[in-house]
Structure 1
Amino acid sequence: MSFSRRALLKASVASTALGGLGAPLVARAQAAEFAYKFANNLPDSHPLNARAKEMSDAIRSESQGRFDLQIFPNNQLGSDTDMLSQIRSGGVEFFTLSGLILATLVPAASINGIGFAFADYPTVWKAMDGDLGAYVRGQITKANLVVMDKIWDNGFRQTTSSTRPINTPEDFKGFKIRVPVSPLWTSMFKAFDASPASINFSEVYSALQTRIVEGQENPLALISTAKLYEVQKYCSLTNHMWDGFWFLANRRAWEKLPEDLRTIVAKNINAAALKERGDTEKLNATVREELTGKGLVFNAPVAAPFREKLRSAGFYAEWKGKYGDQAWELLEKSVGKLS
């Protein structure tokens, strides 16, 4: 399966979603023994939703029509906060959510976002498919949610700027950068002596355009789809954070399924997650080429000095205290010594 920026930008979200709610879907749901909703915040053409459609078809086929997974992309059923409430109450049965946002309910879930912890994808998957991921899933389970074994990929976050490339930690000094409303982001950029400003994503383009902030940080695919290259000149491949989506289920809905259906559903969800990881990595590589064509100037800083700056500023020690020794030891087991 191949993805491109053209596919990601297709204005098919509304039409696909609305069309999917028509008579065929209603009839299919009525025929199924179990018809469950899967909500997410990504465009219909994003690799996650493309693989979810494959997954839904495979589950329906393998269950001989007993289980129908209905996909609701692009925040159709509400914001992340709304859907987190719905997955807990049973308003939706399945939901994919960033660990950095899930941390409002499960604090340990944001540990994968620790600054400059992961050098590359093999290190990410070693941790998240290994003991660290198992620990986080255990914490999610304690919050009375069911979570699938494999985390889906959202990608590494990069830094863009209208004024200068970021080559060293010193380049962040005084740098006015937009960050999401999150203590982890604010803490990290303050450790670099930057000036982080918490701004809703819907306002990022105008904030960059009017120079309220000089820069922002996001995965390349989002930098492209939001057309931030129009108001930014440089893109520094800082890879300063990695984030993924946990595939969550409402516990009561999950336990209502017979064991054989649980096995079929979980197997196909986890298999789709592995395929989506490869799709997303390839998509970001393609998007980089296209952004270069749009005039964005790329550079690739070395991570070690940034890690050392965070260490000397007490960032790692602070967050080790917040997550606790056990979680931190599992992180360092995969990525090496941080604090």
Structure 2
Amino acid sequence: MKFKKVTLLVVVMLLVGSLVAGCGARSEQPAADNGGEGDKAAKQEKIVIKFSHVVAENTPKGQAAVMFEEKAEEYTDGKVDVQVFPNSQLYNDNDVLSAIQQNNVQMAAPATSKVSKLFPEWTIFDFPFAFPSTEKVQEAMESPEIGGKLFNMLKDKQLLGLAMWDNGFKQMSLDDQPLYMPKDFEGKSFRVMSSEVLEAQFKALNANPTPMPFSEVYSALEQGVIDGQENTLSNIYSKKFHEVQKYMTLSNHGYLGYAVITNSEFWEGLPEDVRAGLEKALDETTQWVRDNGERINGEALDKIKADGTLEEIHELTPDEKKAWMEATDKVYDDFEDIVGSDLIEAVKALRD
């Protein structure tokens, strides 16, 4: 009898324990599930904007992309999640326009040379000594004859031009000798972006242009695959090109700018308030780039000098610059049929 009472008591205690445990499990599990679903729903409500570019974060474009991310998320009250991918983490400049068309990324800022693969007229920005200052570039982009015409072309390819970001002017570097006069280019190989105009520029100087993605330039210089390159000071410093070169000429011979581009269907499909917030963020970022691009390149030059890896940094004299211009001016005639005489004449008017 005593055994039966003990057994019954144990059974009752086990049943009570099971009920308590079951009640506890039911009370915790729904809370965990609800929390997970709530987090997931919150994430789904955000509009994700993947922003791809190829340069380092401490360049004008790199800093601008981060600034746009911060301002866009602020001005849309957190309705968007801008994800910036620098240093060709997602795409290089040769592939990013296709990625935008397919909406694999929503924004990018490729160099204008890359846009010219779809629209040859965009090679106008690659012409040697086309713009005497960034102010003239901005004047060009704000004019209907140049900027208006170029941005309107993008619509035919499901692209939308949002802004133009300056990186400044390009300088020349070479491994084995200084570059003073056009004859110093003869027989030397230089990396160029994929652009027929840039290739023609170096051919006019009797040099050998080598198209190559930006991400491969350092190793190509280090291994002697190419002799030299052209780029802005911020790009030269951030990618350490000056560490594998001996001579640099401050030539300001070519402009390097980036077209901020999005997928037109994606952009036009955004809620009106979100699009307005993004436009505000983009306007403020673009103005910051205009105000600070030159400063960033100047700071990069100071750092390059401080590193002491270059044997000489030479600034073109007026006579040397004139010789370079005369040697490369034939590019304008060679590409008049491709770019169009109207664009060339509009740019020449700015240069004059």
Alignment TM class, shorter chain as reference:
0.7 to 0.9
The counterpart of 2:313, out of the listed 279, 283, 298, is: 298
SS in 1 for 2:109: strand
Tell whether the 8 Å contact from 1:155 to 1:244 is kept in structure 2 after alignment: yes
Q: What residue is the counterpart of 2:19 in the other structure?
A: none
Residue 349 of structure 2 corresponds to residue 333 of structure 1? yes
Residues 28/122 of structure 1: CA separation in 2 closer, same or farther (3 Å cut)? farther
Residues 63/281 of structure 1: CA separation in 2 closer, same or farther (3 Å cut)? same
Give the letter for the 2:314 counterpart: N
The counterpart of 2:93, out of the listed 80, 84, 99, is: 80
Structure 2: gaps (5+ residues): 1-38
> How does the TM-score come out when normalised to structure 1?
0.82
Residues 220/28 of structure 1: CA separation in 2 closer, same or farther (3 Å cut)? farther
SS in 2 for 1:48: helix
Map 1:51-90 → 2, pairs under 5 A: 51-90=64-103
Structure with more of its chain in helix, by fraction = 2
Residue 199 of structure 2 corresponds to residue 186 of structure 1? yes
Q: What residue is the counterpart of 1:134 in the other structure?
A: 148
Tell whether the 8 Å contact from 1:99 to 1:112 is kept in structure 2 after alignment: yes
SS in 2 for 1:97: coil
Give the letter for the 1:333 counterpart: A
Residues 92/208 of structure 1: CA separation in 2 closer, same or farther (3 Å cut)? closer
- Distance (Å, rounded) in 2 between the aligned partners of 1:61 and 1:206: 39
Residues 137/281 of structure 1: CA separation in 2 closer, same or farther (3 Å cut)? same
Tell whether the 8 Å contact from 1:181 to 1:198 is kept in structure 2 after alignment: yes
Residue 275 of structure 2 corresponds to residue 262 of structure 1? yes
Between the aligned residues of both structures, percent identity stands at 30
Residue 325 of structure 2 corresponds to residue 307 of structure 1? yes
The counterpart of 2:297, out of the listed 273, 278, 284, is: 284
Residues 96/197 of structure 1: CA separation in 2 closer, same or farther (3 Å cut)? closer
Q: CA deviation at 1:234?
A: 1.3
Deviations 1:139-187 (A, max 9, x none): 2223321111x30122211111223222222322333333334322211
Q: What residue is the counterpart of 2:333 in the other structure?
A: 317
Residues 219/28 of structure 1: CA separation in 2 closer, same or farther (3 Å cut)? farther
- Distance (Å, rounded) in 1 between the aligned partners of 2:70 and 2:221: 42
Deviations 1:94-140 (A, max 9, x none): 12111101111122222111111112222222212333222211122
Q: CA deviation at 1:89?
A: 1.2
Structure 1 range deviating more: 56-65 or 295-304? 56-65
Q: What residue is the counterpart of 1:4 in the other structure?
A: none
Tell whether the 8 Å contact from 2:249 to 2:314 is kept in structure 1 after alignment: yes
Structure 1: gaps (5+ residues): 1-24
Q: What residue is the counterpart of 2:134 in the other structure?
A: 121
Q: CA deviation at 1:228?
A: 2.4
Deviations 1:214-235 (A, max 9, x none): 3221212222233222332211
Aligned residues: 308
Q: CA deviation at 1:47?
A: 3.7
Q: CA RMSD in A?
A: 2.4
- Distance (Å, rounded) in 1 between the aligned partners of 2:128 and 2:314: 19
- Distance (Å, rounded) in 2 between the aligned partners of 1:256 and 1:69: 17
The counterpart of 1:50, out of the listed 52, 63, 77, is: 63
> How does the TM-score come out when normalised to structure 2?
0.79
Give 1 or 2 for the bigger CA radius of gyration.
Answer: 2
The counterpart of 2:228, out of the listed 202, 210, 215, is: 215
Tell whether the 8 Å contact from 1:108 to 1:139 is kept in structure 2 after alignment: no
Deviations 1:230-289 (A, max 9, x none): 332211011121121111111111111133332221222122022023333212111111
